[in-house]
Amino acid sequence: MNDYIVLVTRLLLAQIFILSGLTKLGSYAATQGYMESMGVPSLLLPLVIALEIGGGLSLVVGWLARWSALALAGFCIAAAVLFHWNFADQMQAINFMKNLAMTGGLLLLYVHGAGRLSMDARRI
């Protein structure tokens, strides 16, 4: 049963990153403008998209999942600090806490690994 719970955990964590990366890809110019308005260089956008989509897919199949989880956890902290720091705005405060919660799940995945239902387990 635990193997299936770990699989579902990976899928639930991955979906937000994959969808977010695809959305950024579809609204590239708008995302660049938003990043720049927040003081973040838009040159980072291709890396962000690659991390979100690539890292999310890595979690789905469980390939190099620990490293992807760690990279995505760092990304969540950075996004929280850079984009969701306005606690006077309730939605920003909620997004900040959401990013921290996702970081917690990703760090657990980093510590415990992708489980037996993963490509990582087949490499061992």
CA 19 to chain centre: 10
> Does the pLDDT at position 94 exceed 80?
yes
Phi–psi pair at 67, nearest 5 degrees = -70, -40
Own/partner pairs for 108-111, CB < 8 Å, 24+ apart? 109/9, 109/10, 109/13, 109/59, 109/65, 109/66, 109/69, 110/66, 110/69, 110/70, 110/73
Q: Locate the domains of the chain by residue range.
A: 2-123
User: Hey, CA dihedral for 88, 92, 97, 99, is it positive or negative?
Assistant: negative
> Does the pLDDT at position 31 exceed 90?
yes
Overall average pLDDT of the 32-42 stretch: 97
Report pLDDT digits (tens) over 102-124.
Answer: 999 999 999 999 999 999 999 75
Give the count of beta carbons closer than 10 Å to the beta carbon of residue 12.
Answer: 12
Average pLDDT, the chain: 97
Q: What is the pLDDT of residue 123?
A: 77
Report pLDDT digits (tens) over 80-91.
Answer: 999 999 999 999
Residue 48, helix vs strand vs coil: helix
Q: What is the pLDDT of residue 124?
A: 58
Report pLDDT digits (tens) over 69-83.
Answer: 999 999 999 999 999
